[in-house]
């Protein structure tokens, strides 16, 4: 019963432990700087590992609710792949069409000086920093929640229930973000 709850809520035991760690570090003040939304930006860039689930969904939801420039990238992917088939189905059931999405690798991405990177996990912020991309960065869930949740664990190999929960969190957050950056 407990393992099923962890699987459906955090994706895995490892995801649950990562959640505990990042929430604790957030409460200690380590990630508060990643919860701010700057106003002087020219494009939103959603970031995750593969650009096939989380950042893809965030980009397409945001596009549907804002005229502000938007892109999405993956830190560990190749350019041109489609979105994950399960995420396409789950997104479709929630009114979002991901069938036209194609991945963009960070290696093929053209950064702009006033991009705002919106990451799904702290490790993506670290990945951007390691690549020398020092633009303003925030965490998607932290931007709109009154009790910030810091990470959206990767749903790629998780249960359908967790992938659907991720989709709900991303859709809610991306719509709220679109209200901030109307374009």
Q: In this model, does residue 149 exceed pLDDT 80?
A: no
At 79-127, the pLDDT tens digits run 999 999 999 999 999 999 999 999 999 999 999 999 999 999 999 999 9
Q: What is the largest CA-CA distance in the chain?
A: 48
**Residue 109 DSSP class:** -
Strands 70-74 and 43-48: parallel
Task: Please tell me the predicted confidence (pLDDT) of residue 143.
Answer: 64
| Token duo for residue 93 | 């059931």
User: In a 3-state reduction of DSSP, which class is residue 96?
Assistant: coil
Q: How many domains does the chain have?
A: 1
- Measured on CA atoms in the order 126, 177, 145, 172, is the torsion positive or negative? negative
CATH number at residue 96: 3.40.50.2300
| Token duo for residue 162 | 């967790």
Percent of the chain with pLDDT over 90: 64
Question: In 3D, which of 46, 61, 16 has the Cα closest to residue 172?
Answer: 61
Range of the domain at 34: 2-180
User: Residue 174 and residue 154: Cα distance in Å, rounded?
Assistant: 17
User: Residue 179 and residue 12: Cα distance in Å, rounded?
Assistant: 32
Mean pLDDT computed over every residue of the chain: 91
**CA distances, 49 to each of 17, 80, 152, 180 (Å):** 19, 14, 12, 25
Average pLDDT over residues 64-86: 97
Task: Give CA angle at 119 (15, 43), nearest 5°.
Answer: 165
């Amino acid at each position: 019963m407990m393992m099923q709850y962890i699987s459906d809520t955090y994706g895995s035991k490892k995801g649950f432990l990562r959640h505990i760690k990042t929430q604790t570090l957030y409460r200690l003040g380590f990630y508060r700087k990643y919860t701010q939304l700057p106003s002087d930006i020219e494009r939103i860039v959603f970031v995750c590992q593969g650009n096939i689930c989380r950042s893809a969904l965030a980009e397409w939801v945001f596009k549907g609710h804002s005229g502000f420039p938007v892109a999405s990238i993956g830190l560990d992917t190749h350019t041109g792949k489609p979105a994950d088939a399960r995420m396409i189905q789950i997104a479709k059931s929630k009114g979002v069409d991901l069938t036209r999405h194609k991945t963009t690798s960070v290696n093929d991405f053209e950064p702009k000086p006033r991009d705002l990177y919106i990451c799904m996990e702290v490790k993506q912020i670290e990945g951007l920093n390691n690549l020398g991309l020092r633009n303003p960065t925030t965490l998607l869930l932290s931007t709109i929640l009154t009790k910030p949740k810091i990470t959206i664990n990767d749903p790629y190999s998780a249960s359908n229930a967790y992938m659907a929960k991720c989709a709900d969190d991303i859709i809610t957050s991306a719509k709220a973000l679109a209200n901030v950056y109307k374009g």
